[in-house]
Amino acid sequence: MSSLPLLSCYIDGQWRLPGGGLLDVINPATETPCAQVALAGPAEVDLAVAAARRAFDTFCQTSRGQRLDLLSSILAAYGARMADIGDAVSREMGAPQGFARQVQAGIGAAHLAQMIETLKTFVFEEERGSLRLLREPVGVAGLITPWNWPLNQIVCKVAPALAAGCTVVLKPSELAPLSANLFAEVMHAAGVPAGVFNLVHGDGPGVGQAIARHPDIDLVSFTGSTRAGVQVAKLAADTVKRVTQELGGKSANIILPDADLPTAVEQGVRRCFSNSGQSCNAPTRLLVPEDRYEEAAALARAVTETIVVGDPLDAATTLGPLANATQFAKVQRLIEVGVNEGAELVAGGPGRPAGLDRGYYVRPTIFGRVTPSMTVAREEIFGPVLSILTYRSEEEAIALANDTVYGLAAYVQSRDAGRAQAVARRLRAGTVYVNDPAWSPAVPFGGYKQSGNGREYAEFGLTEFIEVKGVVAG
């Protein structure tokens, strides 16, 4: 019998061990198992949905004050486990431990705190003459979350669902289930009523698809690849349930001619490589004026040379491994494609960094002289790979930025605030970041085009879990 920790499902307020087999959870820094997760299937989804449906009848009637108290209890319980949660993220997906504790785990706390403030003033009921508008919970929500920012995506879905009065069935990534289990422990410790929150481990075919097609689930909120999001939407269509999606991205970072080039390039490179490049809104396409390409490429190379790739437990490490073997193989393949298609290799390249022969480590890579038709300019790589493209006019920069099937985020750098805002208005993206602002859980998050539909965070995320009812008096 294995001595590894065994992760089970949390259904109707109790831990339940499903019988669908065991999957090793691999530490990407060592390529060795650090836990095992018991995989569920449609039978466990049925149990979780039934529990959520029973709980909804009562939970949907709770008052704003009761839900505020519950969210406050969850935040307190979460805060008590922050270090444990961060350490779990570091083990399951390779994030440097300090980053995992402060940022990965910290984002979960930030979303809870923001949702508490949002719920205090959210308008659930209003009168417009003879019309009374009621904003009511949509029902049972199925939540499917990825491995790259596990707590961000779990909490930015669970918190608004509970704030609205919904009950939930959560399927986290089977590749990064440790932090999700700790989050379930937090929910239990906070006194969340049985059935209001349910956790079902499993893979896409066994659990994800069962959630998407389940007739007693009223809404599916999915974060992941565009390919998987399309499949979820198709499965959900037969029961006409609401579907919200946060999908892929290939975000452009436009450095306008008047920008402070050294600062803008450094910020762009570090944002792209943060979390080992495994962020759907990473600024992976750096657009610079043609006449400043050589300077920009040299600056980008210099920044890359300061990045320390290594063991997530080493305090000096700034870039950990990729999260899993599949992602490692994909990124290595796409780096080879970039070389073969003729992009200029400014930094990095194929293979592991020197001295790292084990673990899913990738050399931080920058391609220059990238043309819009190249694969590295069009495909979401999801690793520490940056493409530098050039433009000759502002119009061309905007056209290049919008020349993608995605539209999750965009970035603009300029000393002229008015000019930056004017460019931002013309970019087809759900969020535009001007001059490297700090992240905020109050900013709406979601995409245009094949980056999805719906929005997350604050009142924008809460609204997704709401039905609007009009009561008209004669």
Annotated catalytic residues are: 246, 280
Q: Note whether 213 and 239 are within 8 A (CB).
A: yes
CB of 124 within 8 A of CB of 64?
yes
CA pair distance 77, 197, nearest whole angstrom? 15
What is the three-class DSSP state of 136? strand
Residue 57, SS3 per DSSP: helix
Residues 6+ apart with CB under 8 A from 425: none
**Alpha carbon distance 366, 388 (integer Å):** 7
The pairing of strands 32-38 and 22-27 is antiparallel
Please, is 124 exposed, middle or buried when counting C-beta atoms within 10 Å of its C-beta (0-12, 13-18, 19+)? middle
Amino acid at 225: S
Task: Find the DSSP H helices in 341-440.
Answer: 375-378, 394-402, 417-425
Nearest CA-CA partner of 462 in 279, 223, 219, 184: 219
H or E segment at 76? helix 64-80
- Taking a C-beta distance cutoff of 8 angstroms, is the pair 373, 43 a contact? no
In the numeric block, which tokens belong to residue 449?
């085009």
Nearest CA among 311, 207, 199, 260 for reference residue 416: 260
Helix (H) or strand (E) holding 334: helix 325-340
**Non-local CB neighbours of 354 within 8 Å, separated by 6+ positions:** none
Strand order in the sheet with 32-38: 6-7, 32-38, 22-27
Which is nearest to 179 in space by CA: 113, 110, 104, 114? 104
Distance of CA 380 to the CA centre of its chain: 14
- β-bridge mates for residue 387, sequence order: 285, 367
Residue 326 CB neighbours (<10 A): 11
- CA–CA separation, 364 and 107 (whole Å): 25
